[in-house]
Amino acid sequence: MAITDTPTGYGSVSRALHWTMAAAIIVLFGLGLWMVGLDYYSPYYQSAPDVHRSIGILVFVALVLRSGWRLGNVKPDDSDLAPFARTASRAVHRAFYVLLFVLTISGYFISTSDGRPIEVFGLFRVPSAIQSVGLEDAAGLVHRWTAYGIMVLASVHTAAAIWHHAFERRHTLSRMWSGPA
Q: Residue 79 domain-assigned?
A: yes
**Best CA proximity match to 99, nearest among 153, 61, 49:** 153
Q: Residue 1 domain-assigned?
A: no
Q: Residue 28 domain-assigned?
A: yes
Is residue 8 over pLDDT 90? no
Predicted TM-score of the model (pTM):
0.92
Q: CA-CA distance, 3 to 106, in Å (whole number)?
A: 32
CATH number of domain containing 153: 1.20.950.20
pLDDT band at residue 124 under the 50/70/90 scheme: very high
Q: Residue 96 domain-assigned?
A: yes
The whole domain housing 148 covers: 12-177
Q: Are residues 113 and 139 in contact, defined by beta-carbon separation less than 8 angstroms? A: yes
pLDDT band at residue 181 under the 50/70/90 scheme: low
Q: Residue 20 domain-assigned?
A: yes
What letter represents residue 164's amino acid?
H
What mean pLDDT do residues 144-162 have? 96
Q: Residue 4 domain-assigned?
A: no
Structural domains counted in the chain: 1
Q: Residue 5 domain-assigned?
A: no
Q: Are residues 58 and 100 in contact, defined by beta-carbon separation less than 8 angstroms? A: no
Phi-psi sector, 14: left (phi>0), alpha (psi -120 to 50), beta: alpha
